[in-house]
Homo-oligomer: A and B are copies of this chain.
Amino acid sequence: MCAVGGGPDDIAREEQFPTAGPDETLERITEFFRSGATAEAIGIGSFGPVDVDPSSPTWGYVTTTPKRGWRHVAVAPVLRDRLAVPVAFDHDVGAAALGEYRWGAGSQARALSYLTVGTGIGAGLLINGKPWHGLIHPEVGHIRIPHDRDRDPFPGVCPMHGDCWEGLASGPAIERRWGKAGSDLPDEHPAWELEAEYLALGILSLVCVFSPDRIVAGGGVMERRGLLEKVRTRLRGLLAGYLETPLLGEEIGAFLVPPALGDRAGVLGAIALAEAALGDAEFSAPRC
């Protein structure tokens, strides 16, 4: 998704096209930004893993993705060279976190996590509104969670780890396990109890490791009616009152929240990244 603008109410142009191979995709992005009014700076929220370390020789690359043809591919450096504007680069979920923080459901959260559950599972973390990367960047989709093979013999879909969190609970996992897309399963299908269990188990790791103030949970799978409430209930069950704070108790509805920007969090976050790049030519991605 490409857009030129300054925020949710100020989008001058926008275009969406499927991700093809790197050459074709980067060419379409270049064309988009060359036609019409030029962008003063570009922010990129890319699928990952990505290299977001500004001091690295492979800054702005997609790295070890299983996505065909995209391993070790330069993204940000290519667009910066072709378009000759400042470029800021982050993980797609990092950008989405920034979008929700700036204009959506993450505002005011000191320790924000944006979680997406869709074709994959990922989370972006912000500390005081700045992306947190650490050594690489969070890759929560690949943690391991309890997998009861008696209840759920499905082996998982992750090409690298089988039944990691993403392997068990992403959209493709739901589709492969049940033989039809999640969107075609009725609300009362047992898929959703199992999904809520897996999501709560993974979110528990987010809560117990990073201790966020708020988790914005987006992505296609989370749009299922009633799922978020099921996950909240199960998460409270897993915590069993151990972390005694209203936000993990009766106020959990203000802790684990739906996105306000829907599937536009990423592209709007990329605009926020571009603004940051404008403010500082050396800017790559803000670090805590």
Contact = CB atoms under 8 A, between A and B. Distances in A.
Interface stretch (A21-29, A75-83, A134-142, A172-180): A134-142
Contacts of A201: 144
A161 B241 contact: no
Contact size range, A: 35 or more
A243 B144 contact: no
A244 B64 CA distance: 7
Contact of A238 (B64, B135, B161, B244): B161
A145 B288 CA distance: 29
Contacts of A240: 160-161
Contacts of A230: none
Contacts of A243: 49, 64, 136, 139
A206 B204 contact: no
Contacts of A211: 132-139
Contact of A64 (B127, B134, B242): B242
A97 to B, nearest CB: 14
A108 interface: no
A205 interface: yes
Interface string A185-223: 000000000000000010011101111110000000000
Given A240-B161, A243-B136, A244-B64, A142 B49 contact: no
Number of copies: 2
A281 interface: no
Contact of A136 (B64, B205, B245): B245
A111 B135 contact: yes
A243 B143 CA distance: 12
A134 B242 contact: no
Nearest to A255: B135
B209 A143 contact: yes
A142 B247 contact: no
A63 interface: yes
Given A134-B111, A144-B146, A288-B127, A208 B139 contact: yes
A209 B213 contact: no
B135 A245 contact: yes
A268 B242 CA distance: 28
A144 B63 contact: no
A264 interface: no
